[in-house]
Amino acid sequence: MMTKAPDDRRGAAGKVAAVHAQLVVVLAIVALQLWLITVALNEFFLGNLDSVWSLTIASGVLFLVALGVLFAHGE
């Protein structure tokens, strides 16, 4: 009896599921970044200028993760 190769199991439904997973992760990242920019603005107007840089770095890391997720499935 022949068995399917691992790649054959990824049909159209599998590809759609993978894109859905990417969407969920990137949506969560965008939501986090929205929160970060809100906190950054709040800190800026409060005068806590030091913490704004760490928030920027966190936002940049999240963007890189989103970019990695985008290219994770042969984009």
Partner 1 sequence: MAKSTASERPFPYHTMNFPYQRTLDALVTRRDYLRLLVLTSFGLFVGTAGVAGAALLNGPTAYPRTRVAEAAALPAGKALNFVYPTADDPAILVHLPDGRFRAFSQTCTHLACPVFWNAARGRLVCPCHEGIFDAETGLVVAGPPPRPLPRIALQAEQGSIYAVGVTR
The residues of the shown chain that bind partner 1, judged by CB under 8 A, are: 16, 19-20, 22-23, 26-27, 29-30, 33-34, 36-37, 40-41, 44-47, 49, 52-53, 55-56, 59-60, 62-63, 66-67, 69-70, 75
Nearer to partner 1, 2 or 49 (CB): 49
* CA–CA separation, 5 and 23 (whole Å): 27
* CA–CA separation, 66 and 25 (whole Å): 8
Nearer to partner 1, 10 or 41 (CB): 41
Q: How far is the CB of 32 from partner 1 (least distance, A)?
A: 9
43 in Cβ contact with 66 (< 8 Å) = no
| Residue recorded with tokens 């969407």 | 23
